[in-house]
Every structure is written in C-alpha cells, then in structure tokens.
Structure 1
Amino acid sequence: MKPEKRKQLFLIGIFLAILLAEGVTHTTMDLMKNQRPVVADLFLQVPSQENLRNYEENLEEGSWLVQNLRPVMQVLRFAVLGDLGKKAVAGREGWLFYDLGIQYLTERSQPVRPGESTPDEVVEAIVSFRDRLAERGIHLLVVPAPGKASVYPEMLTARALNLDHPVNVRTLQLLEQLENEAIELVNLFDLYQSEKNKDSISGPNNLYLIQDTHWSPKGMEMAAEKVANRLQELGWVEKGNTDYGLKEVPLSRHGDVIRMTQIPGIDDWYEPETIQASQVVRKESGEIYADDPHSEILVLGDSFLRIYEHDEPGSGGFVAHLARDLGKPLTSIINDGGASTLVRQELYRKPEMLAGKKVVIWEFVERDIRFGTEGWQDVPLPKDKQES
C-alpha cells in the first residue's frame, strides 16, 4: 500500500474514532444518569424533518464533548476567523448586527417555516386589536421600530453604499397594508432616513448603537418626540402640566450583540461603547420618572422600550421621554422579544391596566413581523370591569 494511501486511511480512521467516541461517551453518560439514550429517539419517532432537526439540536445541547469543547472552539474561531457565531454578524468599522434582523431582510419569506408569521397574519392581528379597543372608545397608535440593518445597511456591507432603493421592501409593503386598513401608525423609517440624509457620516449622531441591536439615545428621543407630536395632531391627547427635566448620565457599556455571541472573554476584544443618556426627572422634586398605572395612555412594546428605561441609566428610555414630551406620566407593559403577542397576553391577564385608558401605543421591532415570539395571535381584551 502506498504511503499516501496509508495516510489517508489513518486520517479517516481518526475521524471515525472521534465520531464513535462522541456517540459512546454520550450514551454512557445517559445510562449513568439512568436516562434513556438520546439515540433511542431516532427509532421511537417518525423520521420527519422536524423530528430529525429536534434530535440534532438535543444531541448537540446534551453532548458532554460538545459542551466542554465548544468554548475553546468559539474562542479559536473568533480569534482566527473573526467568526461571531450564529447570532451575530460583524459589519464595517466595528459595527455589529443581530443575525435574525439580517435574516428578516434577506431571506425569502415563503414558504413560512414553523414559528414564523406572514404579513397578512400581522395585519389581521393589528386590525383585530384596533377594532376591539375602538369598541371601548380607546385609540390605537402603531409604532414599528426599524431594525438596525434597515437604517444602516451600508455599515453591514459596502455593497449597500449609495443604494438607490430601500432594503426593507417587505416592511414598507406591510406599512402600506396597515394604512389601507386605516391603522394609525408612526413611520420611523422615513424619519430616520431624513435624519441620515442630514448627517450621513457614522459618528456621535448615530441613530443606533454600534455594538447593540437597539437605537441610540438620539434615535430613541427622536421616536418619542415623533409619537408625541402625532398623538397631539390626531387630537387624542392633550398636553399635560407635569414639568419634566433631563439629567445627563454618561454610560459605558458593551452591547447585547456581544453578549449574544457567548464567546468567553470577548469583552476584552471590544472597547465598551460610550453613550450619553438622559434620565427624565420631575423638575420640582428631582425624582426620576415613574409610570402611573392610572394614566390615560398605555404603551406596549419590547426591548426597544426596555433599553435606558429599565436598564442603565433607568427612567431614560422611550416611555420616560414620551411622558416628558406629553407633560404627563404614562403606564407600560414591556416584554423583551414579546411585542407581537406576549404583551397583549399580559394585558389580558391584567384588566386593571386598561381601566381609564384613552390611547394604546403599540411598538414592535421590524423583524418580529416574521419572527415574533408566539407569532401574531388574536388575543382578546380583558373583560371590562364596568360590564362585570
């Protein structure tokens, strides 16, 4: 046998031994724990695409070898190849993006996979919610939050420089559908594009954070001001008399995209992002903003409302700044990643949250049009206490 052939057979043998060792190790560990070996699932379930995918995921997550080698391999792949893993994508000039947001923009929407939603389902859920609120004399204002890659595609790839068309056509079509259904909404996409046209250079006036999926303090404050103006244009809300001021708070933080990678020690590779945030405070007392459950305005949303509000600096996010712009406190239900359905389910469980309300503001991030947690279910309103 030729030496080259022996070398090839040796390498094949090593590879097969590694595969066999993983299977033997996994099965042995399961038996030692008095658990049924995961491999048995192959013979106890119908070999469908979904079952095979679940088996693969369970095998990977439960593998002793994978769990012990994964951190080492993550560090090596990042150090050598710049690979950030499944959830993060490195853009230009240090910008980081959430993979699911890019997937929403770039993948074909059909066929819809399990757990995903169609634009028609989104429209039906929003129209149904609007109509149910209207029956109680409550107005609905919808505020889709643009994904970072929709606003800054050129920071994801140089191929998006000087594009003469939007990258989020699917979202714009949905907004048109909502307008055709007479849904009142705030178009932040146009607002941000107009602002970018004034200042197209990446820098301190960015509307989104460089290392994070969310808007910057400037982007958030612009959104709050736009919503406040729209509410008053519609005549739904009168300006209040609570006098709020601002307290500047500098922050230094690593973004959520860095945390998503779960690469050990990755914080040492990236400098924290410096942010100038603003807490909302009552001028007469200096107390930081707090929700008022008796407010006539209820805000529903996701982590775009949580950042700066519940995170550092606290009372400095969208809800607090909207309250400042309106001169009155609000109340809110915030659920990370759950604006499509979970916030409405929480509202259903808390009927007191809807008592005395005149306006509901519903924010959700753009990617949830397709990837919203629990989809876009038709959730009833809580029973009106006045009827009970």
Structure 2
Amino acid sequence: MSKTAEKIYIASFITMLSLGFITSMSGVIDYKQPKTYSVLDGNLAKSFEDHYDKELPMKDIGTNVWAALDFVLFNEGRQGVKIGADGWLYSDEEFKPDPTGPHNLSDNLNTIEGVRNELAKHNIKLVMAIVPAKARLYPEHIGNNRASPIHADLYQQFHKAMDRDEIIAPDLLTALESAKSQGQVFLRTDTHWTPMGADIAAKRLSAAVAHNFVLPGEPQKYVTSVDKTEPYHGDLTRFIPLDPLFETLMPRPDDLQKRNTAAASQTEGADALFAENNISVALVGTSYSANPNWNFEGALREHLQHDLGNYAEDGRGPVLPMLKYLQSDDFKNTPPQVVIWEFPERYLPMPNDLSEFDQEWVARLKDLGDEQNLALTGNR
C-alpha cells in the first residue's frame, strides 16, 4: 500500500467512526420507550434494540463503504473472489494454495477410481466431463492474480490420471478454447460457463459417448430454443458488497441468453413412453449441470439424441452428489448404461466432508492403497 493510499484509508476509517457515532447518538435521542414494559423479562432491551437497528442501518452502510475502499484502493473483494481486469471476476478457489492440496488430490483421484470400479460391477461405463478452470480459459483477464503451483498443470494432471486409469475423459479445454472466437464460453461475473460454453462441452462429450458406446433404443430428436438476452449479475458479485450505495462501481452485468431444450413433436406417443422408461445415461455433477441457466442437461439431450437422468446438485461439489447417487434407489433399480460425471478441475485438490456416508463404505470405495494415484502426485 502506498503512503497516499494508507492516509486515505485511515482518514476514511476515522470518518466512518465519526459518522457512526453521530448517527448512533441521534438514534438514541429519538428513542421512545414503550408505554408498558418490564425490565425483568427483557422487553425494554428488545424494544431499544429494534429501534436502534431500524434507525441506524450502520452495518449495511459500513459493509458498503469498506467494500468500496477495498475495491477502489486495492482491487479486492471479499474472500471468495479474485478481481481480474476488464470487469472479469474469478473464484479464488482457482488461485489459492492449500497445504493439504496434494493429499486431497490423491484422495479424490482414489475416489474417482473407486467410483469407476463400482460402476463397472454393474456394467456401467464412466465418462468424465472435466470442466477447465475459468482462469485457464481466460488467462488474458486475470490481471495481477497468479494461481498457486498446485493449479498450474492441474487440468493436465487430471487427464493423465484418467488416461492411466482408462477412463474416458474428452478434452473440453481445447473445444472451449476453439469456440472463444464465436462468443463467451464462460460468464464474466460468474463461476460458470455460458449456455454456449455448456453446449460446446455437451457436443464434445456426446461425440465421445457415440464413439465408444451404442446407447439402446432409437435416437430421439430434441430441439433447443433461444430466449431473449437479459442482464445477469453473476454469483461472484456477491463477494463485492457495493450495492446499494456504490452500485455504479460494480462490474457491469453479463448478457445471459438462456436456452431451453425440449423433445421434438416426433417423440410424442409411443416413442416418448419408451424414452421415459429407458433412460440409459445419468448425469452427475455440480451447479454446472444442475443450474438450468446453462442448459447443460438440455444440450446433452440434444447432442446425445437420448434422454438422461440428472442427479447433479448445487453447492455440493462433484463428489457428494456422486456418492449419493450410488446409494440411491434410482441407481439400484434402474441403472444406466453410461454415467457422465461433470467434475470441475478446481475441486480436485479440495477436501470433501463425507461424514453423512458410511465410513467403511467410503474407505472401500476410495481404495486408499492405490499406488498409482499416489505416484502421480509424488507422495510415495
């Protein structure tokens, strides 16, 4: 921080305290006690507290002011976001180091291999949809942010591990990079891909499925329609709490053109009934798959020309939804032929809280003695 910035920051801090004190006193002076009250049961204190909160919204004002100072002086937001150049925002999970990262990476690779083996017991094939980091796709906008060493070649490590374990994992990075000239494949203010990016990924995955498997049943036609474009404030803007006082400082919203996919009219009747009872593909993953804003599920249907079951979940990461699916009645009673596991690369070195599952079952699934996965991370 320069001397000038330090002085501005200190002056702003003193001003903020002074304004808070003055406003607090006026709020206290204006207080009128209720006609009936009891000191013993706390009613009077509760009455004063409610009045104080109503007349003195200093918490929200203070949040806005300090967020504005951090944003303007230091180009920083709250924990959770990295502010890049040109109004681009990135999840800090793509940059921050984690001393437990190598262990988590090995642990998650063991889990993936265990899932593959569990599916193989039921003659189900696993296809990994490894979502590249936004910072990897758009490094030209990261500004002064630099990823920690564990993230440098994480995408390549992930694919090497899948190749070694003979798990199908088409290269989504190359496909998405090639499509950048046609439009944005990731949102500028959000963690996620755009509907266009989701469609590019779905097309590449569907081609890999078609190349390796023959899905049962007749192909079905799905049609995607494009809705109007609307302003969209991405999830990463929540970590820059400038609204409402300093809303004009916020990065401009994205332009989100939503898409919707539905079965064509030809699939009605007997074909539609067949489709409902013969879903041969299951999709498991994160909000990249679960959130309808991106239409990833619909794009997969269109390019696979088959229906699918979507078991992805928001806010749970990629591992928990998969373990939950493996223990579900749907998996036991109507197993698919192919499982597509959408797995963002940034989650590979992150820990998972698996306490909701039977720990003996989790340990068996992980197969922690896998020497190949340990060798990949250098932890021999």
Same fold at TM > 0.5:
yes
Aligned to 2:236: 257
CA 182–125 in structure 1, closer or farther in 2 if over 3 Å, else same: same
Aligned to 1:227: 205
1:75 corresponds to 2:54: no
Are 1:341 and 1:374, in contact at CA under 8 Å, matched by a contact in 2? Answer: no
Query: Relative contact order (alpha carbons < 8 A, sep ≥ 6): 1 or 2 greater?
Result: 2
Q: Distance in 2 between matches of 1:363 and 1:33?
A: 55
Q: How does 1:1-388 map to 2 (within 5 A)?
A: 69-103=62-96, 107=97, 111-112=99-100, 117-157=103-143, 168-196=152-180, 199=181, 205-237=183-215, 240-250=218-228, 251-265=230-244, 267-268=247-248, 269-284=250-265, 292=276, 295-307=279-291, 309=292, 311=293, 317-354=295-332, 355-374=334-353, 379=362
Percent identity for Structure 1 against Structure 2: 21
TM-score by length of 2: 0.68
Q: Deviations along 1:326-366, whole A, 9 cap, x unmatched?
A: 22211011122424321023214422245231111111111
Q: Deviations along 1:173-199, whole A, 9 cap, x unmatched?
A: 232122111122122123233445xx3
Q: Distance in 2 between matches of 1:366 and 1:267?
A: 32
CA 145–84 in structure 1, closer or farther in 2 if over 3 Å, else same: same
Q: Deviations along 1:204-262, whole A, 9 cap, x unmatched?
A: 61211111111112211010011111001002425743221121112321111112334
Match of 1:371, SS state, is coil
TM-score by length of 1: 0.66
Q: What RMSD over aligned residues (CA atoms) do the two structures have, in Å?
A: 3.7
Aligned to 1:28: none
Q: Which amino acid aligns with 1:95?
A: W
Q: Distance in 2 between matches of 1:221 and 1:168?
A: 26
May I ask how many residue pairs the two structures share in their alignment?
A: 299
Aligned to 2:37: none
1:298, distance to aligned residue in structure 2 (A): 0.7
Structure 1 gaps of 5+ residues are 1-10, 19-31, 35-64, 161-165, 382-388
Q: Deviations along 1:45-66, whole A, 9 cap, x unmatched?
A: xxxxxxxxxxxxxxxxxxxx98
Structure 2 gaps of 5+ residues are 1-9, 18-39, 43-57, 366-380
Are 2:284 and 2:340, in contact at CA under 8 Å, matched by a contact in 1? Answer: yes
Are 2:224 and 2:298, in contact at CA under 8 Å, matched by a contact in 1? Answer: no
Q: Distance in 2 between matches of 1:273 and 1:121?
A: 36
Match of 1:367, SS state, is helix
Match of 1:370, SS state, is coil
Are 2:158 and 2:345, in contact at CA under 8 Å, matched by a contact in 1? Answer: no
Q: Distance in 1 between matches of 2:172 and 2:261?
A: 22
Q: Which amino acid aligns with 1:170?
A: L
1:292, distance to aligned residue in structure 2 (A): 5.0
1:283, distance to aligned residue in structure 2 (A): 2.5
Q: Distance in 2 between matches of 1:184 and 1:70?
A: 47
Q: Which amino acid aligns with 1:237?
A: L
Q: Which amino acid aligns with 1:283?
A: A
Larger deviation, residues 132-141 vs 335-344: 335-344
Match of 2:255, SS state, is strand
Are 1:293 and 1:353, in contact at CA under 8 Å, matched by a contact in 2? Answer: no
CA 219–374 in structure 1, closer or farther in 2 if over 3 Å, else same: same
Runs of 4+ in structure 1 over 6 Å off = 65-68, 375-378
1:167, distance to aligned residue in structure 2 (A): 6.9
Are 1:208 and 1:214, in contact at CA under 8 Å, matched by a contact in 2? Answer: yes
Q: Distance in 1 between matches of 2:126 and 2:160?
A: 17
Match of 1:73, SS state, is helix
Q: Which amino acid aligns with 1:218?
A: M
1:85, distance to aligned residue in structure 2 (A): 1.9
CA 238–225 in structure 1, closer or farther in 2 if over 3 Å, else same: farther
1:267, distance to aligned residue in structure 2 (A): 5.0
Match of 1:246, SS state, is strand
Match of 1:140, SS state, is strand
